[in-house]
């Protein structure tokens, strides 16, 4: 086993290369303890995924572009199918083959909600993988995980896989009055995949997965109370303590079904990807998160999403100087929400949305007979329709992309220009105020320069990039006075710039090391959100200014014991990562200083068996992973404390 480290290179996406992608294979994911996309925060420079109390909403930011609302700015694709609702983002997938992170706008190929970047997850297929895998792990704080997967290849043409996994994410926080745990996180997942290749020219791929997620949610504590708060004297005892007196729970049922078909001719490939997602959830929340009975909220959503994409692309090498891909796609989302405040009548909201798009992208090699110079041009035309309560809006989007690359013996250099956008929509809960109900799409222009170098062949790699992103019609969350929810409004403009640097080295046959650093400065260039008070020049919230990741692993071959080879090798690994400074509010009055954590792991390996012991956050660094303001009060959630445990993997 080797320690996980990312690889930045050219990856084929939708049939066309992406300049700046980070890839983790199954071994990397296991070595670094990546259980869901939140764990990528510490190992991908420029990416921040907050722990926001429950799986109901996942705030994902990349290079200063992101969202805390229901419309994500960073897209998620699983086995080639988009998951458009960010209530589905916080999922545990145990049969992952690869995770790719594409930074910067990807809208020319992937359309809406990929203006900040894209996360692509691919699961293992049953023709390439064979056998049965049993995984078991346990850790302090009542965390444990069990998974069984089987991959069966019936012939060279047909394969079937099935897996089931149960995870208890641990219980880290106590209620300061009752003493009970308040953050139990349990999930049950089942997955199956059927792959059929009747001949060399065609392929049919069917997969389905179901996940049940049950959480004791929102381990928030009160941190700040304004001087003019009517309940200030009564709330003093709640500061710094978890004291909610009403239920905080989240229950989610999610089903995903996909069908992919592909046929190859001598020069082109025709493909179709059809996906369907069903998501039903139930959120119950103490609206004030204190011992007082000031407000409660129950919110249920029933979401059905249907997507389809048809692509026609050239096969590699058919045209000497040209590769191309063109396609058409559509999506339709039915979203029914039931909102029930603690006082007042329940309300029902239906917000259907649909979109259709055409795109094309071409890559030209050795342009003008200049060896090593490549140019990629892309263009996407997308139509989007959203409606609510008799009102409807239509948006047309044109998203171009351009990149140029020069390749040489030791690597390449590249430059890209691209435009992205994020969907508009409705704040259903404030339909009584028409001016606040509708918010428009958000747009971004991004510019990037970078290089991938291999100065010592297969021994030392350097990847570096700098970027500039300008965002207009910026969508930001705002809490109305005495309102327990949050609305989205177009807040003006922002600009983010920075860079990333990574290095990886094979120092010897046994020793590997990696280091990465990312810097992002994202600020408002125009802002009128905070009750008419301009925040121009302030930093955009939820964007770490610095991200550092350092790690190494050392492999030791083990001798025979008592005349028998009980173990083949031992791998010792350590990793240190840090993030910060992070501003939590647009007025920049609340921030998180730079914080860091140290992780370590020892893994013993023998043929089909792996056994490891690990520790995370070894020096018990404490920080906030989420902060928000509601009803003129500030609330926060802490990170996980020191953790340790063991894991076992048996494959046969």
Tens-digit pLDDT profile for residues 537-580: 899 999 999 999 999 999 999 988 877 888 899 999 999 999 98
How far is 244 from 334, CA to CA, in rounded Å?
33
Q: Which residues contact 463 (CB under 8 A, 6 or more apart)?
A: 8, 450, 451, 452, 453, 500, 501, 502, 503
| pLDDT per residue as tens digits for the range 209-256 | 999 999 999 999 999 999 888 999 999 999 999 999 999 999 999 999
Nearest alpha-carbon partner for 281 in 251, 306, 258, 324: 251
* Three-class secondary structure of residue 108 per DSSP: helix
pLDDT exceeds 50 at position 614: yes
Which pLDDT score is estimated for 480? 58
In order of 216, 302, 632, the CA distances from 180 in angstroms are: 11, 31, 28
Nearest alpha-carbon partner for 610 in 29, 25, 4, 30: 30
Nearest alpha-carbon partner for 36 in 18, 54, 21: 54
| Alpha helices, DSSP H, located in 173-288 | 232-235
Which pLDDT score is estimated for 515? 94
Residue 529 pLDDT class (50, 70, 90 cuts): low
pLDDT exceeds 90 at position 90: no
Contact 87, 252 (CB under 8 A): yes
**Quick one: tokens of 410?**
């030791």
Average pLDDT for 387-410: 91
Which pLDDT score is estimated for 15? 43
Query: Reduced to 3 DSSP states, what percent helix, strand and coil does the chain have, rounded to the nearest 5?
Result: 5, 60, 35
Q: Which residue has the tokens 């606040």?
A: 436
Element (H, E) at 554: strand 546-557
The pairing of strands 74-78 and 117-123 is parallel
* Neighbour tally for 223: CB within 10 Å: 16
pTM (predicted TM-score): 0.90
Element (H, E) at 110: helix 107-110
pLDDT exceeds 70 at position 130: yes
- Mean per-residue pLDDT over the chain, rounded: 88
How far is 555 from 572, CA to CA, in rounded Å?
6
Element (H, E) at 16: strand 16-25
pLDDT exceeds 80 at position 201: yes
* Three-class secondary structure of residue 633 per DSSP: strand
Query: Which of 184-198, 330-344, 425-439, 447-461 is predicted with the least confidence, judged by mean pLDDT?
Result: 425-439
Give the residue with greater pLDDT, 182 vs 343.
182
Which pLDDT score is estimated for 12? 40
In order of 342, 404, 538, the CA distances from 486 in angstroms are: 16, 42, 21
Contact 413, 407 (CB under 8 A): no
Give the residue with greater pLDDT, 139 vs 43.
139
How far is 511 from 553, CA to CA, in rounded Å?
6
Taking the chain, what is the end-to-end CA distance rounded to the nearest angstrom?
17
User: What domains lie within the chain, and their CATH numbers?
Assistant: 7-651 (2.40.170.20)
Give the residue with greater pLDDT, 389 vs 90.
90
pLDDT exceeds 70 at position 9: no
Q: Is the dihedral of CA 501, 101, 409, 457 positive or negative?
A: positive
Q: Which residues contact 310 (CB under 8 A, 6 or more apart)?
A: 270, 271, 272, 327, 328, 329
* Neighbour tally for 162: CB within 10 Å: 16
How far is 84 from 113, CA to CA, in rounded Å?
8
Which pLDDT score is estimated for 16? 44
Highest mean pLDDT among 54-63, 70-79, 80-89, 575-584 belongs to 575-584
pLDDT exceeds 50 at position 13: no
Q: Is the dihedral of CA 241, 282, 623, 491 positive or negative?
A: negative
* Neighbour tally for 270: CB within 10 Å: 14
Give the residue with greater pLDDT, 594 vs 431.
594
pLDDT exceeds 60 at position 409: yes
Which pLDDT score is estimated for 431? 59
pLDDT exceeds 90 at position 42: no
Which pLDDT score is estimated for 236? 93
**Quick one: tokens of 333?**
């989302």
């Amino acid at each position: 086993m080797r320690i996980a480290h990312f690889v930045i290179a050219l990856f084929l996406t939708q049939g066309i290369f992406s300049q700046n992608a980070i890839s983790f294979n199954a071994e990397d994911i296991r070595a670094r303890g990546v259980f869901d996309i939140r764990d990528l925060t510490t190992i991908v420079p420029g990416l921040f995924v907050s722990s926001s109390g429950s799986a109901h909403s996942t705030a994902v930011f990349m290079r200063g572009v992101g969202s805390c609302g229901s419309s994500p700015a960073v897209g998620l694709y699983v086995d080639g199918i988009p998951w458009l609702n960010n209530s589905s983002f916080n999922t545990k997938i145990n049969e992952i083959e690869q995770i790719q992170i594409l930074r910067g706008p990807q809208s020319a190929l992937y359309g809406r909600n990929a203006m900040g970047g894209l996360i692509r997850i691919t699961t293992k297929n049953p023709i390439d993988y064979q056998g049965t895998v049993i995984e078991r792990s346990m850790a302090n704080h009542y965390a444990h995980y069990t998974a069984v997967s089987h991959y069966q290849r019936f012939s060279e043409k047909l394969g079937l896989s099935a897996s089931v996994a149960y995870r208890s994410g641990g219980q880290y926080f106590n209620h300061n009055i009752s003493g009970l745990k308040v953050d139990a996180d349990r999930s049950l997942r089942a997955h199956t995949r059927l792959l059929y290749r009747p001949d060399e020219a065609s392929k049919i791929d069917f997969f389905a997965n179901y996940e049940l997620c049950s959480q004791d949610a929102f381990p928030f504590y009160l941190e700040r109370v304004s001087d003019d708060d009517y309940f200030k004297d009564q709330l003093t005892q709640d500061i710094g303590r978890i004291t909610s007196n009403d239920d905080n729970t989240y229950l989610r049922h999610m089903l995903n079904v996909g069908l992919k078909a592909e046929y190859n001719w001598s020069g082109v490939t025709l493909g179709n990807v059809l996906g369907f997602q069903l998501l039903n959830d139930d959120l119950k929340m103490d609206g004030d998160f204190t011992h007082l009975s000031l407000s409660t909220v129950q919110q249920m959503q029933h979401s059905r999403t249907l997507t389809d994409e048809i692509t026609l692309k050239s096969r590699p090498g058919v045209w000497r100087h040209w590769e191309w891909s063109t396609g058409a796609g559509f999506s339709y989302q039915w979203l029914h929400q039931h909102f029930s405040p603690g006082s007042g009548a329940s309300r029902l909201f239906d917000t259907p949305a649909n979109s259709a798009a055409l795109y094309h992208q071409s890559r030209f090699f050795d342009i003008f007979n200049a060896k090593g110079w490549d140019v990629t041009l892309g263009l996407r035309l997308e139509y989007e329709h959203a409606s609510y309560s008799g009102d409807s809006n239509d948006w047309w989007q044109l998203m171009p992309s351009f990149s140029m690359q020069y390749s040489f013996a030791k690597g390449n250099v590249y430059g890209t220009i691209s435009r992205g956008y994020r969907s508009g929509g409705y704040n259903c809960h404030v339909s009584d105020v028409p001016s606040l109900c509708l918010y428009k799409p958000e747009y971004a222009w991004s510019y990037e320069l970078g290089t991938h170098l291999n100065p010592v062949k297969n021994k030392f790699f350097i990847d570096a990039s700098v970027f500039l992103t300008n965002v207009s019609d910026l969508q930001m969350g705002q809490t109305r006075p005495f309102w327990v929810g949050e609305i989205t409004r177009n807040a003006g403009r922002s600009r983010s710039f920075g860079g990333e640097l990574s290095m990886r080295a094979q120092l010897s046959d046994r020793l590997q090391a990696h280091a990465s650093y990312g810097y992002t400065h994202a600020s408002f260039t125009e802002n009128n959100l905070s009750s008419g008070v301009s925040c121009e020049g302030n930093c955009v919230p939820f964007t770490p200014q610095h991200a550092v990741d350092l790690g190494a692993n050392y492999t030791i071959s083990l001798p025979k014991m008592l005349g028998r080879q009980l173990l083949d090798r031992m791998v010792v690994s350590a990793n240190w990562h840090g993030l910060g400074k992070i501003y939590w509010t647009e007025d920049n009055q609340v921030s998180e200083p730079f914080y860091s954590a140290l992780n370590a792991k020892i893994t013993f390996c023998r043929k089909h068996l792996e056994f490891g012991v690990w520790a995370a956050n070894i020096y018990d660094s404490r920080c906030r992973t989420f902060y928000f303001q509601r009803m003129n009060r500030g609330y926060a959630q802490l990170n996980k404390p020191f953790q340790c445990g063991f894991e076992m993997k048996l494959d046969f």
